[in-house]
Amino acid sequence: MSAAAPSLRVVVLPLTVTLAVQTLVALAVYCTPVMAPVAGPALGVAPSAIGYFIAMVYFGSMLSSVTSGGWVARFGPIRVSQIGLALSFIGLALGASAWLPLVALGAVVIGLGYGPATPASSHILARASPAGLVSFTFSVKQTGVPLGGAIAGTLVPAMIHTLGWRMSSFAIGLACLALAFAVEPVRARYDRGLNRKAHISLRSAFAPVAMVMRERRLKEMAVTSFIYGGVQITLVSYLVTFLTEAFAMRLVLAGLVMAVSQVASVIGRVAWGVVADRLLSRRRMLGLLGMGMGFSAIVTLAAGPQWPGWMLFAYASVFGATAVGWNGVYLAEVANLAPQGQTSQATGGCLFFTFLGVVVTPPLFNLVLSHAGSYGVAYAVFGVPSLAIGARLLLVRPS
């Protein structure tokens, strides 16, 4: 038996648990863009207003991710994950009320639940992953984000047809709550070495951000994720609305295109992790992905109803594999650059900037869209910065 087999067995349980949590909280977020063409008119707003909803989601995520280091240290990564899943349920239930103020509050609550999932899982995997499989395990776990998007794209249109968008939102929330109870048996295994006196305050919340700003290479990663996260959210948030409005595509087919883009990113996340472990450095892999997502965004300028179906699916696959496929390699690099014993803090600090990019980009995308009147122009505008940061990572050696 190869040496890799025992190593893989060691990470099966932590990967399964963290992947399940990541998938469900991602589904809680990404079901909303699929619902937008139906829920928007029911709420009296345009479907493109989903960008503001997503911005509020990630505002909540930004706050909870930066405080997650203290929560994980005090209560453990599994308990924090359970709280995040419960918050996702509450947020989706508020959204199902169909009253706009509660829908907006629900967006923030969903974000509060989504934010801690990645730092908590990074805390688990940084301890459980063998040295030669770090990028791979982090990439596999991060496939939970596009898996959530793929499930949303394939399942939610059918749920809306059967249950309506409000009951569909509530049902997805119940699934999150069920998983919170399901992971309880493994809590004793991973919620160990807790520090009951760990600081959880407004001042201590931004300590991870301050740490990232002090460490030059972590600061570079934070800027990278700010740009990449913005491109990622434009794809996920607007793809279905783009297809239904600009291509006059039916919701079920548009959801399928989104699902294909997310499946491609699942494959990409695993593949890029293997490449980063075996062939290229994580930095070079991130540079290539930045170039790929930048070019993909710019190609949207040429997209239109004249495209044959196969070309649209192929394009969505490439865009998804790059714009949504970078996170696993990125988080592995952040864990590698983090000071000893501060993986969750470094991850939370860097994710603050990731979520900041996701918060500011959708409103700016809407602004460009309203002035240009073209999704292609809006996508291209936000693709240029990723080209620049990708080129930097490829051409400039870290000091």
Q: Which pLDDT belongs to residue 199?
A: 66
CA distances from 118 to 96, 197, 242, 245 (A): 26, 22, 29, 33
Q: Which residues contact 220 (CB under 8 A, 6 or more apart)?
A: 398
**Amino acid present at 174:** L
Nearest to 202 by CA among 343, 79, 84, 66: 66
Q: Which residues contact 275 (CB under 8 A, 6 or more apart)?
A: 285
pLDDT tens digits along 256-315: 998 999 889 888 888 888 888 888 888 999 999 999 999 999 998 988 788 888 888 999
Q: Residue 197 CB: number of other CB atoms within 10 A? A: 8
Structure tokens at 219: 């600061």
Please state the pTM of the whole predicted model.
0.77
Q: Which residues contact 163 (CB under 8 A, 6 or more apart)?
A: 171
Q: Which residues contact 323 (CB under 8 A, 6 or more apart)?
A: 228, 231, 232, 235, 265, 293, 296, 297
The class (CATH top level) of 4-182+203-395 is mainly alpha
Tell me which residues of the chain have a pLDDT lower than 50.
Answer: 1-6
**CA atoms of 112 and 88, how far apart (whole Å):** 8
Q: Which pLDDT belongs to residue 146?
A: 80
Q: Which pLDDT belongs to residue 200?
A: 64
Q: Which pLDDT belongs to residue 6?
A: 46
Q: Which pLDDT belongs to residue 1?
A: 41
Report whether 17 contacts 186 (CB < 8 A): yes
For residue 301, what is the DSSP state? G
**CA atoms of 13 and 29, how far apart (whole Å):** 25
For residue 96, what is the DSSP state? T
**CA atoms of 346 and 354, how far apart (whole Å):** 12
Instruction: Enumerate the domain spans of the chain.
Output: 4-182+203-395
**CA atoms of 41 and 138, how far apart (whole Å):** 39
Start-to-end CA span in the chain (Å): 41
Nearest to 353 by CA among 143, 212, 144: 212
Q: Which residues contact 83 (CB under 8 A, 6 or more apart)?
A: 71, 75, 113, 116, 180
Chain centroid to Cα 225, Å, comes to: 11
